[in-house]
Structure 1
């Protein structure tokens, strides 16, 4: 890699030493003219294929390409028709999203560049029609493979189909593309989470993907479910396991295709683009933040001192687009891997996140909160279980009882059970640290012009975490829950009401304990009087001390 960098940094000298432009093309895999092109200039006139374009990251990728590379020729997106909604309807709904407001202001006809292709990742050949295959093979210049299942508890067969077999089939299609210049695969930084130090390399797969696929074909789903824990070994779930297999599958094509692999960590709301705090789902930390803001989540098992390796979605997309440019222009001899993480560059810890999330939701409360935001992070299993019982299950039972008595359907216990399951899936990632090498990320940044560094900024050293978390929380309120910021005064009033209810309840509880336990027992009364007198003596002592000091 360092050899390739030195070649690209002094093109004129190389051209003379190599005997002219044609020889330079043989060495670098690109001409001097194309090397000098900026990122946006490279994408001008290009046809791009994007999988997973209707997902969180895919939408941001589409928006960024349209806004920052306005001369891009066409974006072909693979779309799966859903029950009751055609492919065209899904794309039309996506285009109405607030995410595309800035693009809409610049070009109201931007949707004309988006060409949907009917596809289904679970079907042979991705269920792309022969006519569409011919069309794609004739025009596509670069492929961004973002599609994957991100469910941690996905059954192994299904995760294998979506994350590995679909990747194989897309690579097969890529081989047929006449003008393909780069194939960029979106993986995850946790594909090798069974290691503590993770370099920007493809590690040997836990099993040969082809053999695993052949073995599972004849197995009953029940058998596969039973053997899954033994298959995934020291990885926490089928997601990380199948993403590791997919990386190996992609790497096998590195001598026939120009390949780049992006490994983001925990992808969160946008940092800067197209505006701060954009998020459209409950996945990952977003659902946890909302549950805490609503007062539903009161405890979570995590290590306060562990690094919370959040990465803003726009950082991932900016890195992805620049990696696409670098891969196509410089044509590295082997697939380059980019660990897109923050922990080793600009670390932020789970304890800090808890503090800033709580502070943010107290300043900008969510509407109709169940309780005041007051979550607690602990790494102790017994303490966590105690708080789950006292602050989750007990209030849920009381609330459901009230709903039953009022003739409504109980729901709070069901909500808490789903919350506990989601948090349980995150515990592995919130209780430990990893070290990621990010040399390729730094190298790529050094290859950009000052203008490209601004337009496609992925320098996480500039990230201000408290400000980012504040915008993230506001983003969940505005874009996920669709709450109006003008209603914040009413939401604050609701929190004050909840506070008064809590104070009243605590007062009544103390009175109840006094009447039932203390007032009827001489020993309890003696203990009570002793504690009160002791407190009074301490107060008198501090008052006397302050008087002498004055």
Structure 2
């Protein structure tokens, strides 16, 4: 039996960020491997028109929890939703709920975080914040990474006698194996880029093709978290250990390889109703990037908006494209660089696990087959995020074929028009054109004469 799974049996666990992508996968794995755990407390901010319990049922109704309901039919009874707002003092938790958490909680997994790269600091007046932010973050690329570092410093300073560990994942992507391949439920990070590329909106991106695409499957991160929770509680290391869970050091995949496989997958399982034929050009040159943005992104958006205006509809594509390009620009710092992270603690922990624990809580990224994972990733985006029916694939392939033919016809027409204008203005261009026509005529004449002789 798994030692780690047995450890979580009978425990009361608090999870922050349980309504987010990582938090949901963490809850699912806990319930599936340790169905006899006592309770999971989750901090929830109610949405308009939904009670806390309704939000819990909404989470459990997703396909992610199908296997959990088989091994833990009363799973809804083991989730205790606590009203909380992480932007408020003491998270706006009531005194009664706070007392229950303090007296009953055995383990805490802190997963709550904003994933917006363009977020702002909220300490002072906006004008003051705008002025001091560049001085505060210095070499940090954005507020997201800066506040992550601040959070770790606070944890280190305030932990006192608590047993604490820090886990640093790289770019968290769709599930690899558990509870099934390809599950994803948000448009953050690679997910949004996959959608924008598959729908034909994003066709070029400023990125270093050979830079490491340090994506790590979410279930791999969760398995490490649960193993770290067990190890920290049982062995109680003297210092706070930091665990890096990345793919770049142990099983690297670059952006070019990832892009090629994503495009190959679109050929087999295209998205429905694409705006243009999917394509992906990577360039690290700023001038080339600006050219592609003008030709492949903004120009088609403007043309489409003109068509919408002519047909009496509201133009929207230019606004959508500008928002997409702003979002992609925030990722440029990360997709144009490679980093090497020390995985010493992660590998040490792997060696401490029994063979059964290594199987049940597998976080060995060396076993990851990138081609298979990327295909499942794209399929997961189509099924679970876009909610597209697999039965519509033949029709989507036909549409893709039509878009490809339109693309070729448009480029041919554009070339002929440009060449005709050039011929009208340049004697040299006319001489080149007449030479090409004469050569083709002579070649055809020779070919016909050869065929006649053979007969």
**Same fold, TM exceeding 0.5?**
yes
**Cα offsets for 1:423-444 (capped at 9, x unmatched):** 1111100111111000110111
Take 1:438 and 1:539, find their aligned partners in 2: how far apart are those partners? Answer: 65
Gaps of 5+ in 1: 1-35, 158-215, 542-550
Query: For 2:158, what is the secondary structure of its paired residue?
Result: coil
Residue in structure 2 matching 1:462, options 362, 367, 374? 367
**Cα offsets for 1:91-130 (capped at 9, x unmatched):** 1111111111111233332111111000111111111111
Structure 1 residue 503 displacement after superposition: 2.5
Structure 1 residue 533 displacement after superposition: 5.4
Q: Which residue is 1:115 aligned to?
A: 80
**Cα offsets for 1:46-83 (capped at 9, x unmatched):** 00000000000000001010001111111010001123
Residue in structure 2 matching 1:449, options 347, 354, 371? 354
Structure 1 residue 504 displacement after superposition: 2.5
Matches within 5 A, 1:59-458: 59-157=24-122, 216=123, 219-458=124-363
Do the aligned partners of residues 497 and 220 (structure 1) sit closer, same or farther apart at CA in structure 2, a change above 3 Å counting? same
Query: For 1:339, what is the secondary structure of its paired residue?
Result: strand
Take 1:244 and 1:151, find their aligned partners in 2: how far apart are those partners? Answer: 16
Take 1:88 and 1:295, find their aligned partners in 2: how far apart are those partners? Answer: 39
Structure 1 residue 253 displacement after superposition: 3.5
Does structure 1 retain, via aligned residues, the 8 Å contact 2:164–2:232? yes
**Cα offsets for 1:347-388 (capped at 9, x unmatched):** 110111111111111111000011111110111111111111
Does structure 1 retain, via aligned residues, the 8 Å contact 2:2–2:360? no
Residue in structure 1 matching 2:376, options 471, 482, 488? 471
Take 2:162 and 2:220, find their aligned partners in 1: how far apart are those partners? Answer: 25
Is 2:12 aligned against 1:56? no
Structure 1 residue 238 displacement after superposition: 0.3
Query: For 1:471, what is the secondary structure of its paired residue?
Result: helix
Structure 1 residue 519 displacement after superposition: 5.5
TM-score, length-scaled by structure 1: 0.78
Structure 1 residue 287 displacement after superposition: 0.4
Query: For 1:42, what is the secondary structure of its paired residue?
Result: helix
Do the aligned partners of residues 117 and 403 (structure 1) sit closer, same or farther apart at CA in structure 2, a change above 3 Å counting? same
Does structure 2 retain, via aligned residues, the 8 Å contact 1:254–1:335? no
Take 2:443 and 2:191, find their aligned partners in 1: how far apart are those partners? Answer: 46
Structure 1 residue 540 displacement after superposition: 11
Take 2:421 and 2:284, find their aligned partners in 1: how far apart are those partners? Answer: 36
Range that drifts further, 527-536 or 395-404: 527-536
Structure 1 residue 260 displacement after superposition: 0.7
Q: Which residue is 1:505 aligned to?
A: 410
The root-mean-square deviation of aligned C-alpha atoms, in Å, is: 2.1
Q: Which has the higher contact order (CA 8 A, sep 6+)?
A: 2
